Amino acid sequence: MEPQNLTHVSEFLLLGLSDDLDLQPLLFDLFLSVYLVTLIGNLLIILAVSSDSHLHTPMYFFLSNLSLADISISTTTVPQMLVNLQTHNKSITYAGCLAQVTFFSLFACLESLLLAVMAYDRLAAICHPLHYLVIMNPRLCGLLVLVSLSISFLTSQLHYWMMSQLTFCADVEIPHFFCDLSQLLGVACSDTSTNNILTHFIGTIFGGIPLLGILYSYTQIISSILRVSSSGGKYKAFSTCGSHLLVVCLFYGTGLGVYLSSAISSCPRKGAMASVMYTVVTPMLNPFIYSLRNKDIKSALWKTIRSIA
């Protein structure tokens, strides 16, 4: 059959995580529960930060933006999967697939950059405590978020352009639960060598550079903490970074795990299962990580919950 241009392909088939029909209701209930917890948890973080004046600081400003990115990542992927599980229909329209590729790259890149910005914020707070509020002034905080969003938008447009250049044969089956660009490159009928090079380049630049920034920040932070004489001071400094460091490990660790599993394993379904960790599980865990280790957040959350109730 002759390849068709992507704009002539009306829909794709998302094969999901399993073909077992008996598992579909269980998967639907599980992912619906996780999605609702993700929405509620991250929305509560945003409401708590915005409503409590004690949390109007750079750290919590970035945290509320991170929660918004987490909600957006989950909303880009999970609802379509829930619809497919409930209707037993694996199809997704061309427009829907294009939207998933674009918005997922936008919010995944934004999360990566926000984690780097939050690492810089912790660097300023611990290494330059006397000048912290001068360094992390409201103008700089807003500018950092705006630049992160602009870079993420540029990345999403590059992914949009790459997908628009692909050609496919009819009845395209994607061994994933959402339209992932790397999976689309694998099932395309046209030559994808240039697209693969560009994809790896974009991933290295927009994923590697923020990670290097985080590693540099924590190198300076640890060096500064080790110079603190009192054990209480060291514990307090480490505790302010613990939640962020755990979120970084979850996000980059699971992302790297997906990349390695797709490179080593010949089974695309294993890569799809691994993707669940950073697209679904990590956004759900982030609110718990920050709230359980932070008395200010817990106090603000209880106030928010009581005001809603």
Instruction: Measure Cα distances from 298 to 34, 45, 85, 126 in Å.
Output: 21, 9, 35, 22
**Do 255 and 278 form a contact (C-beta atoms < 8 A)?**
yes
- pLDDT tens readout for residues 233-253: 667 667 778 788 888 888 888
Would you state the pLDDT for residue 2? Answer: 43
**Phi, psi at 232, each rounded to 5°:** -65, -40
What whole-number distance in Å separates Cα of residue 155 and Cα of residue 9?
24
- pLDDT tens readout for residues 210-226: 989 999 999 998 888 88
pTM here is 0.88
Pairing of β 167-168 and β 4-5 = antiparallel
Q: 294: domain CATH number? A: 1.20.1070.10
What whole-number distance in Å separates Cα of residue 262 and Cα of residue 255?
11
Domain that holds residue 263: 4-308
Closest CA to 87 of 1, 163, 14, 36: 14
Report how many domains make up the chain. 1
Q: What percent of the chain has pLDDT over 90?
A: 34
Of the CA atoms within 13 Å of residue 213, those in its CB half-sphere come to 17
- pLDDT tens readout for residues 63-111: 999 999 999 999 999 999 999 888 888 888 888 888 999 999 999 999 9
